[in-house]
Amino acid sequence: MFSQLQHPPADPILGLSIKFKADSNPNKIDLGPGIYKDDAGNTPVLACVKAAESYRVENEMSKAYLGSTGSVLFNEKIASLILGDHPAIHENRVRTVSTPGGTGALRIAGELINKTKPGATIWVSNPTWANHQGVFKAAGLNVKTYPYYDYENKCLDFEGMMAALKQIPAEDAVLIHACCHNPSGMDLNEEQWREVATLSKEVGYTAVIDIAYQGFGKGLDVDAFGVRLMAQTLDQMIICSSCSKNFGLYRDRIGACSIIGKNAVSADIIGAVMVTVVRVNYSMPPAHGAAIVETILSSDELTAQWHIELKEMRDRIGDMRQLFVDKLVENGVSRDFSFITQQNGMFSFLGIEPAQIERLQDEFGIYVVGSSRISLAAIATNNVDYLTKSIAKVL
């Protein structure tokens, strides 16, 4: 059966980490995957997570199935975290399923759309997360792109984006990053969100919001401004979220797919169809990560601790953005990289050439995604000099 298979190309992000592990350069730096690292280069388990895990060990009474929706408490807590005290919640128009990570949420969203309208088109930003296209195509959707990042001027191509969104047929879906745009770090401001929300309502396409980095930009509420506004403006939408980054639960694989319906009856129907999509995919989501998150969000003390730890991560990345740009200047780089301090979340594009990316990897053991995306979260006070001197050399 498998004799015709060819080896697939390496994953643009995960493939890089495999190469990185095999590299014997003692100074090597992995700027590839979006994983938070502290200044010592570790990705520690958050203290609030450890505390919640201890609590669960003592108090969990059963490992019986939870059903395809996953934990009801987690689903409620995560919808409130994203939407805040939102009318859609009070009007009973939100239905959520726990999913295996944010990727699981995207796949469920894709399959829900495909089940509603087989082969429907979903529009994603150009550029977008390297896995978005693959996930949606695997779900049966046709994927197209709308302009988003202006590579030349290192800013948002808002005009291009709005012009493209205007033309999108009402029966299509449009994926929009809520915050900390992956890979560009370039977010919509509040005024731009207002324009996008108004236009989305006028045009009538189905908005799918991907919120994988809530709390990594400017704060939990500010980062959710766009998704909350969209939920207020539109009758229906889909939200895909992840707890990988903000709770540091990467390998526990916990995220959520929420739908908002026009009213409680339509939410019931869409939610029920979403559950059938889950059932034929993985039947039921893993429960451990959900249990940790719901334990934290149910405790004032653990929530306060989580806010502190999340802020520490956010602030460190912000500090590294500034330090990186300062050190580039200090090490003789004349090209202006100050745009990096204006961007949010883990990522920015360096905007350097493929040959320079290759040299960074081959000569200096510095691993950058082929698009020139770097994870600022991997920069530390003890590697920033080596990194910026190396960049100065390849430039």
Interface contacts to ligand LMR, rule CB under 6 A: 13, 33-34, 129, 131, 182
Select 93 or 253, whichever has its Cβ closest to ligand LMR: 253
Q: In what order do the strands lie in the sheet with 121-126?
A: 94-99, 255-260, 237-242, 206-211, 173-177, 121-126, 142-147
Q: How far is the CB of 182 from ligand LMR (least distance, A)?
A: 5
Write down the least CB distance from residue 101 to ligand LMR, Å.
8
Distance of alpha carbon 382 from the chain centroid: 27
Among residues 123, 129, 193, 306, which one is catalytic?
Answer: 129
Of residues 55 and 282, the one with the C-beta less far from ligand LMR: 282
Is the Cβ of residue 158 or residue 216 nearer to ligand LMR in the bound state? 216
Number of residue whose CB is nearest ligand LMR: 34
Q: Are 201 and 233 in contact (CB under 8 A)?
A: yes
Query: Which strand (E) or helix (H) includes residue 156?
Result: strand 155-156
3-state helix, strand, coil in the chain (%, to 5): 50, 15, 40
Strand partners for 181: none
Please, how many CA atoms are within 13 Å of residue 270, restricted to the half-sphere of its CB? Answer: 27
Give the single-character DSSP code of 8: P
The least distance separating ligand LMR from the CB of residue 377, rounded to whole angstroms, comes to 10
The residue among 76, 72, 105 whose CA lies nearest residue 90 is 76
Active site includes 306?
A: no
Smallest distance, ligand LMR to C-beta of residue 18, A: 13
- Is residue 336 part of the annotated active site? The answer reads no
Catalytic residue among 37, 77, 154, 245: 245
Q: Out of 210, 223, 252, 327, which one is annotated catalytic?
A: 210
Answer yes or no: 11 catalytic: no
**11 vs 150 by CB, closer to ligand LMR:** 11
Which residues have a catalytic role annotated? 129, 210, 245
